[in-house]
Amino acid sequence: MSAAGQHPAVDADELRRRVRDLLDAHPPATTAPLDFLRARFDAGLAWVHYPAGLGGLDAPRSLQAVVDAELAAAGAPDNDPRRIGIGLGMAAPTILGFGTDEQRRRLLRPLWTGEEVWCQLFSEPGAGSDLAALATRAVRDGDDWVVDGQKVWTSSAHIARWAILIARTDPDQPKHRGISYFICDMTDPGVEVRPLRQITGEAEFNEVFLTGVRIPDSRRLGEIGEGWRVAQTTLMNERVAIGGGRVPREGGMIGLVADTWRERPELRTHDLHQRLLRLWMESEAARLAGERLRQQLAVGQPGPEGSAMKLAFARLNQHISALEVELLGEEGLGYDDWTLRRPELVDFTGREAGYRYLRAKGNSIEGGTSEVLLNIIAERVLGLPPEPRTDKDVPWKDLPR
């Protein structure tokens, strides 16, 4: 992937030295945040395991924590990773793995600094869990592809500059084989984004209509017809993306409820006490499992625990937020705000319990449903036999829809 071995000597001390050089040349107090982020990228301190020249130094991934800690201590601005999560977590590793040098150089820097937001045009009204059944067509026309179709539940499409897009380029092939992977410019003619109001009242995701959108062939990632393989990289990274920073005890949703419990003894009941203790204990167990996963990654033993963590947190968030609404009793009957808003990120802690309760319902649907993740664990981790398939060798155009 990268020019491995080019910087064999990049260790923690070397990184600390480079961080000091960066801070000396661009003191955070007097440098505009964006300028600082650009300089950080150029110094190879954005994601240290990326190749030199692309924001990294070919250093071990585990050393990123050293850089982050030093920069945080110096009060350096961050790139708002939650706002650009799709770019960081999914687009970037896919571009790194499958992009041309030119694509990597053009796209990765503004992606990392947050100047350009990314979205993911994968799901369609007729293709969710069965993503490979997608129907959006891309037809070759000279040096371009002409794309027609509809995508749905596209988070951040309203603020995105770019999208990763999968579309069908050969309907005569079985569904997994006729797909290609593109980078779509969201400002191009024919791209229409409509807010899709959701359960919480806001419109965090969108419908995206693609009508005669022309995408130059130079913005294809991977070979024609190999898009499903490329998409696997994206989806794998989507599930691992949670392994980010360390969480302290009570760092997640459980902390909010625990604080309410401590501050408002009049709300306590015996039944809620039992449930709270159980959820506190399970949150701590999930936190420790996440910590163990990070330790495994750091010593180069990536395990399948990534999907485990997503499942565990989805369930916990739902149970904890449900308990919180109940604990609040009369207050739980209220809601903070039903105004149709178009937020730039999911803000669990900035809003009230009712919002958390409703938004957490999406945790077991977005990024692969819990049912589908359980299938993946059963088949890939435990090696249990797959379900019988009726769609495997049938051309996509002949599949029942």
Partner 1 sequence: MSTPDLLYSEAEDDLRAAVRSLLTDRCPPATVLLEAESGRAHDIALWGALGAEMGTAGLMVPDKLGGQGATAREAAVVMEELGRAVAPVPYLTSAVLAAGTLLGCDTDQEPVARLLGALAEGRTVGALAVPLSTTAGAPGPPTATVRADGDGTLSGQVSGVAGAAGADVLLVPATGADGYGLYAVETAEASVTVEPLTSLDLTRPLAAVTLTGAPARRLAGPDRAAAAIGRALLTGAGLLASEQLGVAEWCLTETVRHTKERHQFGRPVGSFQALKHRMAALWLELVSARATARYAADALATDSPDTPVAVAVAQAHCAEVAVRAAEECVQLHGGIGMTWEHPAHLYLKRAKSDEIALGTPGRHRQALAGLVDLAAPTG
Ligand X SMILES: Cc1cc2nc3c(=O)[nH]c(=O)nc-3n(C[C@H](O)[C@H](O)[C@H](O)COP(=O)(O)OP(=O)(O)OC[C@H]3O[C@@H](n4cnc5c(N)ncnc54)[C@H](O)[C@@H]3O)c2cc1C
Provide the residue type at 148 as one letter.
D
Q: What residues between 151 and 190 interact with ligand X by CB under 6 A? A: 153-155
Chain Cα centroid distance, residue 171:
29
Smallest gap, in angstroms, from Cβ of residue 315 to partner 1? 9
369 interacts with, out of ligand X, partner 1, none, CB within 5 to 8 A per kind: ligand X
307 touches ligand X by CB under 6 A: no
Choose the catalytic residue: 116, 124, 238, 324: 238
- Give kind and range of the element (H or E) at residue 306: helix 305-328
Smallest gap, in angstroms, from Cβ of residue 178 to ligand X? 19
261 touches ligand X by CB under 6 A: no
273 touches partner 1 by CB under 8 A: yes
| Non-local CB neighbours of 135 within 8 Å, separated by 6+ positions | 124, 126, 127, 149, 168, 401
- Residue 286 to residues 82, 297, 312, 353: CA-CA distances in angstroms? 21, 16, 7, 21
Q: Which of 247, 241, 325 is nearest to 286 (CA)?
A: 247
Q: Alpha-carbon torsion 85, 88, 90, 95, what sign?
A: positive
Task: Tell me the H-state helices in 43-192.
Answer: 64-73, 85-86, 92-98, 101-113
Q: Pick between residue 140 and residue 278 the one whose CB is nearest to partner 1.
A: 278
Compute how many residues bind partner 1; rule: CB under 8 A: 43
Residue 230 class from Cβ within 10 Å (0-12 exposed, 13-18 middle, 19+ buried)? buried
Q: Pick between residue 29 and residue 389 the one whose CB is nearest to partner 1.
A: 389
Tokens of 162: 């770019």
Q: What residues between 12 and 31 interact with partner 1 by CB under 8 A? A: none
Q: What is the dihedral of CA 229, 235, 240, 242, to 10 degrees?
A: 160
Which part of the chain contacts ligand X (CB under 6 A), choosing from 20-28, 38-46, 120-128, 244-252? Answer: 120-128
* Maximum pairwise Cα distance, the chain: 71
Q: What residues between 333 and 392 interact with partner 1 by CB under 8 A? A: 371, 374-375, 377-379, 381-388
Tell how strand 162-168 and strand 118-121 pair up.
Answer: parallel
129 interacts with, out of partner 1, ligand X, none, CB within 5 to 8 A per kind: ligand X
Residue where the block lists tokens 């947050």: 114
| CA distance linking residue 270 with residue 191, whole number of Å | 55
Q: What is the SS3 assignment for 155?
A: strand
328 touches partner 1 by CB under 8 A: no
Residue 207 known to be catalytic: no
| CA distance linking residue 345 with residue 158, whole number of Å | 11
Q: Pick between residue 47 and residue 122 the one whose CB is nearest to ligand X.
A: 122
6 touches partner 1 by CB under 8 A: no
Q: What residues between 192 and 251 interact with partner 1 by CB under 8 A? A: none
362 touches ligand X by CB under 6 A: yes
Which part of the chain contacts partner 1 (CB under 8 A), choosing from 21-29, 93-101, 144-152, 260-268? Answer: 260-268
Which part of the chain contacts ligand X (CB under 6 A), choosing from 24-32, 149-157, 183-191, 243-251? Answer: 149-157
Instruction: Select the residue whose beta carbon is closest to ligand X and give its number.
Output: 128
Provide the residue type at 45 as one letter.
L
Residue from 139, 269, 336, 397 in contact with partner 1 (CB under 8 A): 269
Residue from 289, 345, 365, 399 in contact with partner 1 (CB under 8 A): 289
Q: Which of 193, 206, 210, 187 is nearest to 135 (CA)?
A: 210
262 touches partner 1 by CB under 8 A: yes
Tokens of 110: 């503004």
317 interacts with, out of partner 1, ligand X, none, CB within 5 to 8 A per kind: none
Q: Pick between residue 125 and residue 304 the one whose CB is nearest to partner 1.
A: 304
Q: Pick between residue 157 and residue 293 the one whose CB is nearest to ligand X.
A: 157
Residue 354 class from Cβ within 10 Å (0-12 exposed, 13-18 middle, 19+ buried)? buried
Residues belonging to the active site: 238
The residues binding ligand X (CB under 6 A) are 119-120, 122-123, 128-129, 153-155, 205, 362, 365-369, 371-372, 375
The residues binding partner 1 (CB under 8 A) are 258, 261-262, 265, 268-270, 273-274, 276-278, 280-282, 284-286, 288-289, 291-292, 295-296, 299, 305, 308, 311-312, 371, 374-375, 377-379, 381-388
